[in-house]
Amino acid sequence: MKRLAFVFPGQGSQRVGMGKAWAEAHAEARQAFAAADAALGEPLSRLCFDGPEADLQLTRNTQPAILAVSVAIHRVVAARTGLRPALVAGHSLVEYSALVAAGALEFADALRLVRQRGELMQAAVPVGEGGMAAILGLDAEAVEAVAAAVSRDGEVCAVANYNAPEQTVVAGHRLAIERAMVLARERGAKRVLPLPVSAPFHSPLMRPAREALAPRLAAAEFRDPAVPVISNVDAAPVASGAAARDALERQVDSAVRWVESVQWMATAGGIEMFLEIGPGAVLGGLIKRIVPGVAVASLSEPEALSAAIAAATT
């Protein structure tokens, strides 16, 4: 069997209908969604399966919904296949999913923390004052230079996500982001895309959210993970519950170092295949650009499970 990493996709992968086929096909997924509904005291599963889309797109709902779907799929994989990861990682909010998969955090606790995280991040910056944009076709160093050049007069622009070698996301004050988009085009960016998000995630403007989330994280029980979890903020494994908690706190207002995380898994971690567990296939595409030629499979729908097992075991 190939040496596997389980990776979990984050915000932006959500869609109405996600997880429904898994729940219809497998008891483990149904049980996971029932547990999510109970933990939050509301029908999160119905929102995942049937929408409405406007409600699913609200950050306070999007974040626990994606977590629930990824954990539901993981439970099917864990129960019905012999696939076991050597490493796990989650992009942004679903570092929580990775910790649940590694046995470091209870599913119900993760759901409640992610719901609080989403609410606090939304509240940190008034609607309309912040923004995010993806810059394609410039390397990370060039985007860092753009962000530094447009940050002035108290308006911040900072790198929020290092997603692929030439795909970097910036976040900050709306006017600074608008300046960054113009300057990035002038400096040769192939595409510059404003992101349809409600807050400037993973930027220094999220400091109030980090400070408010810290006591909630401190109150939750974290165990040492059974499988090393690669943290977004350090692009390195955490091996203790205390380190996992600290990494989750710091990632709120720090950049997601996904490129370095994947590179670490492929080199130091010896990973031969990445299995994407959750809605969509965004991470698979990014991983192929970060480590060309590596084996990747995405489990968005149950029909993909047989092929993933075959690819991992041959």
Contact 153, 190 (CB under 8 A): no
Q: What residues contact residue 7 under an 8 Å CB cut-off, 6+ apart?
A: 88, 89, 90, 91, 98, 274, 275, 276, 277, 283, 287
Of residues 13, 45, 70, 92, which has the active-site annotation? Answer: 92
The answer to whether 13 is a known catalytic residue is no
Of residues 74, 151, 202, 203, which has the active-site annotation? Answer: 202
Q: Which residues of 129-168 are buried (b: 16+ CB within 10 A; e: fewer)?
A: ebbbbbbbbbebebbbebbeebbeeebbbbbbbbbbebbb
Per the listing, tokens 């996971």 go with 32
**DSSP readout, 97-161?**
HHHHHTTSS-HHHHHHHHHHHHHHHHHHS-TTTEEEEEEESS-HHHHHHHHHHH-BTTB-EEEEE
The answer to whether 74 is a known catalytic residue is no
Nearest Cα to 65, choosing from 15, 6, 103, 117?
15
* Two tokens, residue 91: 């992009």
The one-letter amino acid code at 268 reads A
Rounded to a whole number, what is the distance in angstroms from the first to the last CA of the chain? 6
| Greatest alpha-carbon span in the chain | 57
Catalytic residues: 92, 202
